Amino acid sequence: MTTENLSLSEHFVSLSQHLTTPEEQKDLQAFNTLGFPARADYFCQPESVDECRRALDWASEHGQPVFALGDGSNLILAADISGLTLQMNNQHRYYQPQPDGSVLLGVGAGVVWHDLVMETVKKGLYGLENLALIPGRVGAAPVQNIGAYGTELADLLESVETVRVCDRQLSVLTRDECQFGYRDSIFKSDAYQQGADYQSIITGLVLRLQTKAEPRLGYGDLAAQLEGQEITPLAIAEAVCSIRRSKLPDPAEVGNAGSFFKNPIISNAQAEALKERYPEMPLYPAGTGLKKLAAGWLIQQCGFKGTRRGAVGIYPKQALVLVHYGNGRACELLELADEVVTEVRRRFQVELEREPQLIS
């Protein structure tokens, strides 16, 4: 094995020799940050790749479909989940310094993402600091190529380790094989989600971090937040946390799934036409011939910011975040989301796309 192909499975061997029978009729209300009631027919939390394989063996033997659950922070549970719901809970980390001064980090899918970010920045490593306070587990990060403040997971990722559901074979995908895009990856495809031949469970990542300063401060108000401070990975992460807390609700206090809609990407021609009508509209480069709009700005211009419809609403401090105040149903939130989509389409001729995965 070379350091360039660091694999979690080659470093960490399961000490457990058995997997207990999955729990039946598991209450998932505490396992989705929107807090909607739902149940899983069967539920388990493997703590290693070996345990994951045994759980998949159990599902195969009992004829049960498999659903991979992260921390439920990008999920709308509008129905119960049939079959086996599997939530990886492997907590391993492996830091491997490289000759060029970078550090390869192998990490288990069950690690809480923000905990990992803070662990790395306290070690003085650059790379993850702009991604602080994003909810969820490590295994969910590549699915939607999480990003914030000018950084995406794809910028740091070396490989993704998976176990294929159909035959329990271990695979390692390179960054290019993950087919990353804006909030997108191969793992969102039907084949990887539920295809008989390719459905896979993400069990770990390998990330490349840096010991030398490579700060990205040009997005939003991050530079202003850090003015007068020594620029370190920890300082950047703490600034990101401060900004996010000022704008976004804590899921422990108000149910939410973070950004509910993707920022639309449109042609330069359409962007220029909109800019003529709305000179204050924020625009961002998004590749050759393309511009990215701020979905939150579009929603706010339509007057939805702070709207409440019974048990659901739109967060008063950030129009991009739909919230569940409690005792509501997913269908109520989806009705409000449809209302937002329809009005943005009518006013701007722009189509909003939902970000969280819907289980219905």
Which residues are designated catalytic?
Answer: 183, 259, 355
d(CA 174, CA 166): 21
Distances (CA, A) of 339 to 16, 200, 352: 50, 35, 11
Q: Is 144 exposed, middle or buried (0-12, 13-18, 19+ CB in 10 A)?
A: buried
